[in-house]
A and B are shown apart, each in its own frame.
Chain A
Amino acid sequence: MHPIRKKRLTIVLFLLAGIGVAVALTTYALRQNINLFYDPSQIAAGEAPRDVRIRAGGMVEEGSVIRDPDSLKVEFRVTDFNSSVPVEYTGILPDLFAEGQGVVAMGKLDGQGRFVADQVLAKHDENYMPPEVADALEKASKAQPKAGETAQSPSY
């Protein structure tokens, strides 16, 4: 083969090998690290898988936050005003975590339908709403178009 062609071939092979390795690593890693988002209604309906790391989000239900007196354990309920899911978390909650505010939690569903979170994210500032939460609330309000309940739908 012509030496220049041979060189080009080596270069192409190198590139392909590199890209091949990258693609293999990517697909392998992706398969284990994709965290799907589920809203409270989906979780209550049993659509979310158990013992798989997922994300869940909604509003923190008013009056649902219970703190353990001796540790950093905290329990609260996340709702889309249609269904709600109990969440358990041990650690420091973000500054803007509060009842009646939107949160996104990352964690796993245990056997009792309780969401054990290892990470809780709240909004960054007073204007911001996590888009998943906004979406979930919108979906929930459409799924439940009963008259007279509009007062419950949050405004922001």
Chain B
Amino acid sequence: MFPELGQFALILALLLAVLLSVVPLVGSVTGRDNLQAFARPLASGMFVFIAMAFGLLTHAFLTDDFSVAYVANNSNSMLPWFYKFSAVWGGHEGSLLLWILMLSGWTMAVAIFSRRLPTVMISQVLSVLGMVSVGFLLFIIITSNPFDRLLPNVPADGADLNPLLQDIGLIMHPPMLYMGYVGFSVAFAFAIAALINGRLDAAWARWSRPWTTVAWAFLSIGIALGSWWAYYELGWGGWWFWDPVENASLLPWLSGTALMHSLAVTEKRGVFKSWTVLLAIVTFALSLLGTFLVRSGVLTSVHAFASDPERGKFLLMLLAITVIASLTLYAFRAPVVHVRARYGSLSREIFLLLNNVLLVSATLLVAIGTLYPLVLDYLEMGKLSIGEPFFNLTFSPLAVAAGLLLGAGIFSRWKKTDGGWLGRKLLWPLAVSILASTAVVIGYGGFKPWAFAGVFAAMWVTVATLWDLWDKSSSRKGRLHGLKRQSRSYWGMILGHLGLAMVMAGATVVSNYGIERDVRMTPGDVATVGDYQFVFTDIGERRGQNFTAQYGGFDVMLDGEKVAELHPEKRQYSVGMSVMTEADIDAGLFRDIFVAIGERLTEDAWAIRLQYKPLVRWLWLGALVMAIGGFLAISDKRYRIRDRADERVPQSTRPAGGVKGEAEALS
């Protein structure tokens, strides 16, 4: 009976979502407070019922209720309980339910944490979120019901969770990613609400900022987790493949990064408003596009589960409605906004504008590379794929340019920056970065132009960021006092940029100086990779809870001393009869040693992949540092202080940058 309750809960949630998308909006337009007062209770109710549905599906998994088709397809009684739990989002229907749970969670969070927002604004924001929920609830109820039953022929046991997904990285990856995707719906809702009532002001930008930043932080973690998982589980040591599915998550990240920066300008200086709104719409549309690409079956990958054309059509329709409706609204309302603030041709505004140009160009590039083959295929103009070199060739120069710009932009001032002063300011950081990156590149085994460019960009960002921190923290009461005086949003920015530098350094060094060797080995053989010797000691059998494995032994030697003992496996899962390669990695801050077993070639010979991966961890650590920066920035007390200010001035019409304290945060 529980599964039917779950379905019932979803239908109730849909009804509440329909009410939420209509009632408060009508109230806000007609000025009837009693209708607007429904916004928060409806948002809470929707969340409760969706959470109930999610809880019931989880219950079905944990109790092995194989009468539910989705459970039977994605779980098995032999699975350990935590994989049964994560199997809830291991397939299409459940991951969609997770998506919706996140959406209603975000809606609820907006309802809770925006107590001080003007009623009109909050009603409209929640209504827009309600509309998005209606779309997705319809989608799940009509095309992808997770509670469908297999009655009366209940299978004795389930078909098992895809072994690729039986992993801690995969327990965490989808929830984080969805938090990011769905989080951008809040920025979108704020933008639409601002367009509806024509109030694209600094207050709107300030309300949107923390939501955008936190969504961006989650998305960063989600992408990093996916890359990390691919590295040790799927990719034989590769960490980014420019696979359409990866690109689908990178697209909203890139435009979301642009949005974060342009929101800063809109809040501080009251400019770029129309642009910022457009970015908010585009970022959410790209999140939807990502969901469409991954869930519709147009792409073939681990992510594309059952490819049911109906689902693809439905998602495409949702995407089309969202884009067309919001762009129409934009076309009618955006020109209303006038820009009054002035800024010079060398100013922080211009640097951030260039940052946006680069990020949007990168978004376009990745979008073209991802969508072009799909469109051609759809038009039956031939099947083709666009290789990694395309992305590496086009994306890297933009990334390096963004890094160079960032280092210079950090010192720039709002309104006007003196060119000569900026030049003198940059001289020392430039000298230090050139020396340091030359040393790094030579230390890693030789000068390569692209390696130098990447390392230099990372070094330049790091040096400039720390230099700025040093400048800002000088205080007569001592350095420590100066450091303590910095706001959390400033620290957030510092960490965000340092994290980016770490990602750049990691990506550059591991792609240019990593070593990968595929060799044929029999026990007793020794293979050399860089400075390391790998001794294949033995191979035997091992039993796990739901698999048996070939269990290899390797000693890794450096200068005659054993530095690691690795045990890669080749697993045969008993239920689906599928084979999985489990690499073993000796992880380190400065290098990873990686061994994976390939096929068995003869009775005792195996294909073995051996790798030396310098700085590969910096990719994911950097993303984590970025995300921490994001969380730090939103915990800044200026958001709380200004919340109180809102109570006194509910219809905030303050000019941009009018409140003391905020100007220091970014200038």
Chain A residues within 8 Å of B, Cβ to Cβ: 3-4, 7, 10-11, 14-15, 17-19, 21-22, 25-26, 28-30, 32-37, 53, 55, 67, 69-72, 90-93, 95-97, 106, 124-126, 128, 130-132, 135
Contact = CB atoms under 8 A, between A and B. Distances in A.
B599 A93 contact: yes
A58 to B, nearest CB: 13
Contact of B394 (A26, A93, A124): A26
Most buried by B among A29, A97, A132: A29
Chain B residues touching A, majority SS: mixed
B653 to A, nearest CB: 22
Nearest to B297: A131
A25 B357 contact: no
A15 B390 contact: no
Contact of B386 (A33, A37, A92, A95): A33
25 contacts: A4-B339, A14-B357, A15-B357, A22-B394, A25-B397, A26-B365, A30-B372, A33-B389, A33-B393, A35-B384, A35-B387, A37-B383, A71-B520, A72-B519, A72-B598, A92-B518, A92-B598, A95-B599, A96-B579, A124-B164, A124-B301, A125-B162, A125-B576, A126-B578, A128-B300
Interface string B375-392: 000000011111101100
Most buried by B among A33, A69, A124, A132: A33
B149 interface: no
A24 to B, nearest CB: 10
A32 B543 CA distance: 48
B364 interface: yes
B659 interface: no
B398 to A, nearest CB: 8
A130 B300 CA distance: 7
Contact of B385 (A17, A32, A37): A37
Contacts of A97: 599
Closest 9 CB pairs of A and B: A92-B598, A18-B357, A33-B390, A22-B361, A37-B383, A29-B393, A95-B579, A33-B387, A25-B394
B645 interface: no
Contact of B383 (A32, A126, A135): A135
Contact of B342 (A3, A21, A126, A135): A3
Contacts, number: 118
Interface string B327-363: 0000000000001001101000000011001101110
A70 B605 CA distance: 10
B353 A14 contact: yes
B520 A72 contact: yes
Nearest to B345: A10
A95 B518 contact: no
Nearest to B377: A131
A92 B342 contact: no
B302 interface: yes
Nearest to B597: A92
Nearest to B359: A18
Nearest to A24: B394
Nearest to A71: B520
A22 B365 CA distance: 7
B236 interface: yes
B580 interface: yes
Contacts of B358: 18
Nearest to B385: A35
Given A18-B360, A92-B607, A131-B300, A34 B576 contact: no
Contacts of B387: 33-35, 53, 106
B342 A34 contact: no
B240 to A, nearest CB: 16
Contacts of A72: 518-520, 598, 601, 607
A95 B393 contact: no
A125 B384 CA distance: 23
A130 B299 CA distance: 10
A91 B518 contact: yes
B324 interface: no
Given A53-B387, A95-B580, A97-B599, 5 more contacts: A15-B357, A29-B393, A37-B383, A92-B518, A125-B162
B609 interface: yes
Interface string B568-593: 00100000111111000000000000
B412 to A, nearest CB: 16
A70 B520 contact: yes
A22 B577 CA distance: 47
Contacts of A55: 383-385
B368 interface: yes
B304 to A, nearest CB: 9
Contacts of A132: 383
Contacts of A125: 162, 164, 576, 578
A96 B302 CA distance: 13
Most buried by B among A72, A125, A135: A72
Nearest to A124: B302
Contact of B581 (A11, A17, A33, A95): A95
A92 B599 contact: yes
Given A14-B357, A19-B364, A26-B394, A34 B520 contact: no
Given A25-B394, A72-B607, A18 B361 contact: yes
A124 B601 CA distance: 21
Most buried by A among B387, B576, B577: B387
Contacts of B599: 92-93, 95, 97
Nearest to A131: B300
Contacts of B578: 96, 125-126
A111 B5 CA distance: 66
Contacts of A29: 389-390, 393-394
Given A26-B365, A72-B518, A36 B384 contact: yes
Interface in B282-305: 300-302
B350 to A, nearest CB: 8
A21 B581 contact: no
Contacts of A131: 300
B121 to A, nearest CB: 28
A11 B301 CA distance: 40
